[in-house]
Chains A and B, each alone.
Chain A
Amino acid sequence: MTSERAAATAHTGSIKNRFARRFLRSLLKIKRSDRLGAGTSTGFQSNEEVTKRNAQRIKTAAYRSMARVVGPRKIWSRALLFKLRYRARIQGAGLRKRRLVSKKKRVLRKENKVQVISREPSRADDLRKLVPGGDSMHICSLLDETAHYIKCLATQVKVMQSIADRFIL
């Protein structure tokens, strides 16, 4: 009985723990790169900028670790990973702005078309915008993905909260 329960609890806690581990590792990585870059570039950057950039990176790291933990079995995690990877590639290539602009245009065009074709945006469409990869989902699968996404987001928030609390202490 004890073993069963331990297994069950480990299973429920596994995502959380794995996410925490991943997130901490990525945090470490960020910090390391920060320290590496501190000698070169931080000197003529304002503190706010650095913080902002770090916040962005941390956020990205959090999302990525969450998606990685969930793995490819959920649509939202796949879409999220793809998006992050795409963004990272753009960043690495240094083509971020141009491509982003073009992508935006494309998206806009697409949205316009969609709107022309279909009815006015409903609440489900709002939800689609929030859940990664939700644009092309049925309402049923969208709700499924939303449920999972909410669960993972809540876990993420909890973990980040605890880490932040620890740090602030």
Chain B
Amino acid sequence: MDMSDKDKFELEKSNDNPTNYHSSGGLSSDWRFNSTSIPNSSLGLVPIDNQMSVCRGDLVGAASCSSASVIDSFGPAMWEHPTNSQNLVFCDINVQNIASSSNTAGIGKGVPASLRNGIDRTLEMGWNPPNSMLKGGIFLPNAPGVLPQSLSQFPADSAFIERAARFSCFNGGDFGDMVNPFGVPESMGLFSRGGGMMQGPGEVFVGSGMKSVSGGQSQKNVMNAGEASKDISMSVDHMATEGSPLKNETKRESLARSRDEAKKGLGGSSNDSDEAEFSGGSGQDEPSMLEGNCGELSAKSLGSKKRKRSGEDAELDQAKGTPQSAKGSPETQQKGDQKPTSTTSKAGGKQGKQGSQGSDQPKEEYIHVRARRGQATNSHSLAERVRREKISERMKFLQDLVPGCSKVTGKAVMLDEIINYVQSLQRQVEFLSMKLATVNPRLDFNIEGLLAKDILQSRALPPSSLAFSSEMPMAYPALHQSQPGLIPTAFPGMESHSDIIRRTINSQLTTMTAGFKEPAQLPNVWDDELHNVVQMTYGTSAPQDSQDVNEPLPPAHLKVEL
């Protein structure tokens, strides 16, 4: 089937198109088909669609060559090189198509359709980002003013996606609504396909751009997304500015750019596509029908009809009409399904269904997100929001710290509470220092013992809640026995044991006092009050020490128990 498609393609190409087409297009088509058949089952759909379009093009006659060439050029761009160059070409072609599509909607649609079908989920990721990159590079010089300043500044999160989508919707229609909520790249891809189809070529392009945005963000990086969004805006701009009459020159320009950036063969193919677009003005109806058959949303057909009516101003109509088409997508889709029965493949219908589902789902989510997020999207309000979030986060943290603050709501009241608490703590410190100062004379010979004990306790008793409990028992055995019971897991029996031994040794051997517990930390203390220390330790806990020394078993026992 692939082979047959290829053959047909080549035949058509040879028939319709001049020499450049052969030189570049044939090879590219081969490439594309091979690659498509390899990666996915869905890729099989691509050739079918192409064939369909080609057939229709044949029916149309002059338009047929255009569509075929478009598809061809598109195909090579997509599949020929897995790298950037083809992407570049592809983007260019798409842009051109869009530019021309304001008049010749059918061709533009045909291209997107093939695009849709031919693109794999896996491949989308690969080619979209570079695509966007290229577009940005190409179209920046054309319409730099359109670029939103805020876009480049956005971080690479979902919010950014939303914003980008919004921007796109701002530019091209309501497309962003559906695109936004899509977190999954696959669904994004499907949806963007569907959405793009719904809105017509320009919007299709936007859709592809959006795809790249979402996919790139979910999987890759911000830069791509940002540029993709830029590209979207650029493309839209192209559409808007370069309406139908100047198609040719603009196409030429873009073509030249594409050539510059792409390879020669690709450039040739793009040329062909351009020609095809030129000629494809008459083939509007057929491509649109084709897309409907392909099972994509037939909203396009609506858009195309509108375009027919309005002619060159079709862009605006599209932008306005896209919401309608989006709403009426199910019905239109049904139409599309009915149409395809004649010639389409099942896969096309499936795709269209998927696209419609995707569009339905994301809509709701998007509304939800939008309601939550609010409208402010410029950088200042964003920063302000971040700041507010930070502050509230800290406030929450402080709420846990400050007693009696948990029930308070409102930042001012909470700040009051915090201030009061800090003041009270500081006052408490003052008061306690007063107390200590008054008590100080009495404690002369208590501190050292306390210090020694503190150190001991801090070692033997990691949980500090007990370290300074007021009823701290002086009897060490009791402590040791009670502690493990309280904190069985945290009690290092060996440590306490060694501490006890050390302490007893220290108390017995006064020569060791210099290196008592913390030789580095406590030299002064022990230097001056050596005797004091020894006396203190003896006085406070000598009997217990002796007990400990006499029976060092309890810790060991405890350890065993632990």
Contacts and interface: CB of A to CB of B under 8 A. Distances in A.
Given A21-B454, A140-B387, A167 B489 contact: no
Contacts of A21: 451, 454-455, 458, 518, 521
A106 B244 CA distance: 72
A88 interface: no
Interface string B410-425: 0010011011011101
A20 B444 contact: no
A6 interface: yes
A51 B451 contact: no
A95 B456 CA distance: 42
A157 interface: yes
Contact of B467 (A17, A30, A54, A161): A17
Contacts of B468: 16, 20, 158-159, 161-163
A165 B433 contact: no
A51 B434 CA distance: 7
B394 A147 contact: yes
B432 A164 contact: yes
A167 B397 contact: no
A166 B412 contact: no
Band of interface residues on A: 35 or more
Given A34-B440, A166-B470, A13 B458 contact: yes
Interface stretch (B162-170, B179-187, B299-307, B524-532): B524-532
Nearest to B457: A17
| Main SS at interface, chain A | helix
B447 A168 contact: no
A147 B454 CA distance: 27
Contact of A27 (B436, B462, B464): B436
Interface in A113-169: 123-124, 126-127, 130-131, 139-140, 143-144, 146-147, 149-151, 153-154, 156-169
B435 to A, nearest CB: 5
Nearest to B397: A147
A163 B470 CA distance: 8
Interface in A2-39: 2, 5-6, 9-10, 12-13, 16-17, 20-21, 24-25, 27-32, 34-35
Nearest to B524: A29
Interface of B: 387, 390-391, 394-395, 397-398, 401-402, 412, 415-416, 418-419, 421-423, 425-426, 428-430, 432-440, 442-444, 446-448, 450-451, 454-455, 457-458, 462-465, 467-470, 472, 487, 489-492, 518, 521-522, 524-525, 528-529, 562
21 contacts: A6-B492, A13-B463, A16-B464, A16-B467, A24-B451, A24-B454, A56-B433, A58-B437, A58-B440, A59-B429, A143-B398, A150-B421, A151-B401, A153-B425, A156-B425, A157-B425, A157-B432, A159-B468, A160-B429, A160-B436, A167-B436
List 7 tightest A-B contacts by C-beta distance, closest first: A13-B464, A162-B468, A17-B458, A54-B437, A143-B394, A55-B437, A59-B433
